[in-house]
Structure 1
């Protein structure tokens, strides 16, 4: 069965695969990725700091703050004990909560928190789950970065720097692990209209006294415009991830895949 965009949505190409997608709740790219990979037949485990009501009794959910060493340790230990490890790891968790107002408003704690969430969470999970991947002779890792690594701003400089570091780390890791049967790639989304983005647009609309579409357009304009003329849907990012973790992408290693509707204009 295909949808109107001719994307296969019921392929079972991931049958038997064990997958971890971090940050897989809350109506964002992670949740869309969980659903997409599950439709492909995978057993998909996810994490979040808070437990949604519908996942309270699920053995496919791990409540943990993976921006902390304790949180990543909890996730790794559970996965190894319950599932024997994973075949696919999608490091999706990310975000920024640094204060506005420029560099002098951002403390060491702000920078540390941002790097813990956007870089060290992935590094620790990779390090914890790689031994089992190496033992089984294969695996796939995808790091979700951001086009903001190319567009640092005064209020997102820590986030941009952390995502740039994650991209660099991904490339080095891919080079090391490819001879051992493990593929590593990264995905760099642009402006994606997640539930969190919707809430931001709604706040902007209220503050400016305009409607939702005008507030959204203002955000798009702040990025220099989006050539395709709209924001991304979380499901579109999930589709790219689904391709990269599948055998269809078996020769793609160490690459960053931008999905931004044309925002990045450099070659």
Structure 2
């Protein structure tokens, strides 16, 4: 299926690895001009992608990213707000409401909510000036399934869901579609790296890191598929939402979570 993305300009944040890298590759394969945003360049970015180094904890960074995209390609048609997860220097999971302190909460919201809000604010005038575009915000299943683990992260993603719906309502008439993709646990280095989530949970569960990835985590999260989500599975949904083929889809949320979310 032709996603009609050839020649379109797409900004992807958090593009150096994991979901963001998979999204950048997929959009590039579909012919889009990809502006890949991350603090450092990933060695596996598509050859045609333009890497823009940016720390999205810096409030001025989103405007500079959008300006660079306009300078290089003349505009922006797609924004994928994928940057998120643990703020730089933070290891998750954290268990218990009282575990994160004031600074932890502020950093979590700065990285998972405010960076996306600033990217949206920076790109909207460009998109509306071109007659519209597509914004895809990468949220999390924990946004709608609260619990004592990573409560600050889930709260920030819940707020992102609210922003997505509100912006879709306000700017839909100007041709801007806004949708949300909510992954469950995705098999990225967030899980597998040294000191990552798999090792943290292994210490809590008395299991090996490998067992956590293969069995413990899928069981703990009651994943219907029995395994963690693959980054490409998320990227494929993002690409479809970015495409004009999804022209009547806006204000929607799509779970790509292996059956993690149980509620209607």
Q: Same fold (TM over 0.5)?
A: yes
Match of 2:186 in 1: 192
Does structure 2 retain, via aligned residues, the 8 Å contact 1:170–1:186? yes
Unaligned runs of 5+ in 2: none
For residues 221-248 of structure 1, give each alpha carbon's deviation from its aligned partner in whole angstroms, at most 9, with x where no partner exists: 221x111222211001000011111122
Is 1:75 matched with 2:72? no
Report the Cα offset of residue 71 of structure 1.
Answer: 2.1
Does structure 2 retain, via aligned residues, the 8 Å contact 1:18–1:86? yes
- TM-score under structure 1 normalisation? 0.87
Secondary structure in 2 aligned to 1:104?
coil
Any residues of structure 2 matched to 1:1-267 within 5 Å, and which?
Answer: 11=2, 13-26=4-17, 28-52=18-42, 60-96=50-86, 97=90, 100=94, 102-199=96-193, 200=196, 203=199, 207=203, 208=206, 210=208, 212-223=210-221, 225-267=222-264
Does structure 1 retain, via aligned residues, the 8 Å contact 2:38–2:52? yes
Does structure 2 retain, via aligned residues, the 8 Å contact 1:85–1:129? no
Q: RMSD across aligned C-alpha pairs, in angstroms?
A: 2.3
Query: 1-side partners of 2:207 and 2:262: how far apart?
Result: 32
Query: 1-side partners of 2:14 and 2:251: how far apart?
Result: 23
Query: 2-side partners of 1:87 and 1:127: how far apart?
Result: 14
Does structure 2 retain, via aligned residues, the 8 Å contact 1:84–1:132? no
For residues 123-152 of structure 1, give each alpha carbon's deviation from its aligned partner in whole angstroms, at most 9, with x where no partner exists: 101111110111111100000000011233
Report the Cα offset of residue 217 of structure 1.
Answer: 1.3
Secondary structure in 2 aligned to 1:106?
coil
Does structure 2 retain, via aligned residues, the 8 Å contact 1:14–1:40? yes
Does structure 1 retain, via aligned residues, the 8 Å contact 2:179–2:253? yes
The number of equivalent residue pairs is 255
Does structure 2 retain, via aligned residues, the 8 Å contact 1:141–1:184? yes
Query: 1-side partners of 2:54 and 2:162: how far apart?
Result: 26
Report the Cα offset of residue 219 of structure 1.
Answer: 1.2
